[in-house]
Chain A
Amino acid sequence: MGMNNKTPILEIEALNTTFYRNGQALPAVREVSFSVARGEVLGLVGESGSGKSVTLRSIMGLARRYGDVSGQVRWQGRDLVPMPDRELRLIQGREIAMIFQEPMTSLNPLLTIGLQIEENLLAHTNLSRAARRDRAIEMLDLVGIPSAAQRLKDYPHQFSGGMRQRVMIAIALAANPKLLLADEPTTALDVTIQAQILDLILRLAEEMEMGVVLVTHDLGVVAQTCDNVSVMYAGRIVEQGPVRNVLREPRHPYTVGLMRSVPENLPPRTPLYSIQGVPPSLDTLPSGCAFAPRCSACVEACVQGRPDLSRVTDTRHVACFNPVIDAKGNAA
Chain B
Amino acid sequence: MSAVLRIRDLHLRFPLGRSLMDYATGQPGRVVKALNGISLDLIKGEALGVVGESGCGKSTLARCIVRLHAPSEGTIEFESQDIFGDDNRSDRTYNRRVQMMFQDPYSSLNPRMTTGQILAEALSVHNMRPEAEIPARVVELLDLVRLPQDAQHKLPHEFSGGQRQRIAIARALAVEPEVLIADELVSALDVSVQAQVVNLLLELQQELDLTILFVAHDLRLVRHVSNRVAVIYLGRIVEIGDSETLFSAPAHPYSQALLSAAPTLNPDDRGKVARLEGELPSPLNMPSGCPFHVRCHHATDVCKQSVPALLPFEGCGEVACHHVEEINAHA
Contact = CB atoms under 8 A, between A and B. Distances in A.
Contacts of A322: none
Given A192-B258, A224-B269, A269-B202, A163 B279 contact: yes
Given A224-B263, A262-B265, A269-B224, A190 B191 contact: no
B199 interface: yes
A47 B219 contact: no
B192 A257 contact: yes
Interface in B261-279: 261-267, 269-270, 273, 275-276, 279
Given A190-B217, A218-B263, A223-B267, A195 B191 contact: no
Given A48-B190, A220-B264, A244-B267, A263 B220 contact: yes
Contacts of A194: 261, 263
A224 B267 CA distance: 5
B247 to A, nearest CB: 9
A326 interface: no
B258 A191 contact: yes
Contacts of A162: 279
Contacts of A191: 53, 217, 219, 258, 261-263
Contact of B264 (A257, A264, A269, A276): A264
A23 interface: no
- Which among B162, B227, B244, B263 has the greatest number of chain A C-beta atoms within 10 A? B263
Nearest to B199: A271
Contacts of B226: 268
A244 B265 CA distance: 10
B54 interface: yes
A26 interface: no
A275 B219 CA distance: 21
B36 interface: no
B3 interface: no
A257 to B, nearest CB: 6
A278 B196 CA distance: 10
B256 to A, nearest CB: 11
Contacts of B273: 195
Interface residues of B, number: 44
- Which among B53, B191, B217, B219 has the greatest number of chain A C-beta atoms within 10 A? B191
B225 interface: yes
A219 B163 CA distance: 24
B275 A275 contact: no
Interface string B237-270: 0000001100000000000011001111111011
B192 A262 contact: no
A85 B257 CA distance: 47
A221 B263 contact: yes
Given A247-B267, A266-B224, A271-B199, A192 B191 contact: no
Contacts of A261: 191-192, 194-195
Contacts of B162: 278
Interface in A253-293: 257-259, 261-264, 266, 268-269, 271-276, 278-279
B208 interface: no
Contacts of A217: 190-191
B223 interface: yes
B194 A192 contact: no
Contact of B53 (A192, A257, A268, A279): A192
A263 B221 contact: yes
A263 B202 CA distance: 13
A196 interface: yes
Interface string A125-166: 000000000000000000000000000000000001111000
- Which among A192, A219, A274 has the greatest number of chain B C-beta atoms within 10 A? A192
Nearest to B222: A263
A173 interface: no
- Which among A217, A273, A274, A279 has the greatest number of chain B C-beta atoms within 10 A? A274
B217 A258 contact: no
B327 interface: no
Nearest to A188: B54
B261 A192 contact: yes
A262 B263 contact: no
Contacts of A279: 190, 192
Nearest to B162: A278
Contacts of A190: 53-54, 217, 280
A220 B219 CA distance: 12
A254 to B, nearest CB: 9
A258 B269 CA distance: 19
Interface in A99-146: none
B19 interface: no
B279 A160 contact: yes
A278 B160 contact: yes
Nearest to A294: B192
A199 B198 CA distance: 31
A271 B202 contact: yes
A268 B275 CA distance: 26
Contacts of B275: 195-196, 199
Interface in A172-229: 190-196, 198-199, 217-221, 223-224
Nearest to B243: A268
- Which among A161, A162, A163, A262 has the greatest number of chain B C-beta atoms within 10 A? A262
B286 interface: no
Contacts of A231: none
A243 interface: yes
Contacts of B223: 263, 268
13 contacts: A190-B54, A191-B217, A191-B219, A192-B279, A218-B263, A221-B263, A223-B265, A261-B195, A262-B265, A272-B199, A275-B192, A276-B196, A279-B192
Given A160-B279, A195-B273, A274-B196, 17 more contacts: A190-B280, A192-B261, A195-B276, A220-B263, A221-B263, A223-B263, A263-B221, A263-B224, A268-B223, A268-B244, A269-B225, A272-B199, A272-B224, A274-B192, A276-B196, A278-B163, A279-B190
List of 3 A-B pairs having minimum Cβ-Cβ separation, nearest first: A220-B263, A274-B195, A263-B224
